[in-house]
């Protein structure tokens, strides 16, 4: 992922943007979603009602539609560590 980080977004966006914000925005041209989904990442959503976790691919329901309630925030992204011998391209 080191090489990918060098190409992530434009320079102004890299100075103010976050990975969580990129995921929560849910733009279909988002830089991070394809590789996060390919790695099997999970998203943690939190509200005053508690916390829930789901697979990132289940968070996106359609074009500009997310499984995010009005009172929820993206609390964390869980990105699995690579397994021995795993190659990711």
Is it the case that residue 5 has pLDDT exceeding 70? no
User: Is residue 69 classed as helix, strand or coil in its secondary structure?
Assistant: coil
Report residue 56 as tokens.
Answer: 């990132």
Could you tell me if 46 and 72 are in contact, meaning their C-beta atoms sit under 8 angstroms apart? yes
| Degrees to nearest 5, angle at CA 33 with 28 and 38 | 130
Domain of residue 21 covers 2-78
Domain CATH number, residue 18: 3.30.465.10
Q: What is the pLDDT of residues 34-55, one digit of tens each?
A: 889 999 999 999 999 999 999 9
83 belongs to a structural domain = no
What's the distance, CA 69 to chain centroid? 16
Confidence band of 14 (pLDDT split at 50, 70, 90) = low
> How many domains does one find in the chain?
1
pLDDT at 1: 67
pLDDT category of residue 29 using cuts at 50, 70 and 90: low
CA distance 79 to 4: 15
């Amino acid at each position: 992922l080191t090489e990918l980080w060098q190409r992530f977004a434009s320079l102004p966006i890299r100075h103010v943007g976050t990975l969580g914000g990129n995921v929560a925005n849910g733009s279909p041209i988002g830089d991070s979603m394809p590789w996060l989904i390919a790695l099997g990442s999970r998203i943690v959503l939190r509200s005053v009602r508690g916390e829930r976790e789901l697979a990132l691919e289940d968070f996106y329901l359609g074009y500009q539609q997310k499984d995010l309630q009005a009172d929820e925030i993206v609390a964390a992204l869980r990105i699995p560590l690579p397994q021995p011998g795993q190659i990711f391209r």
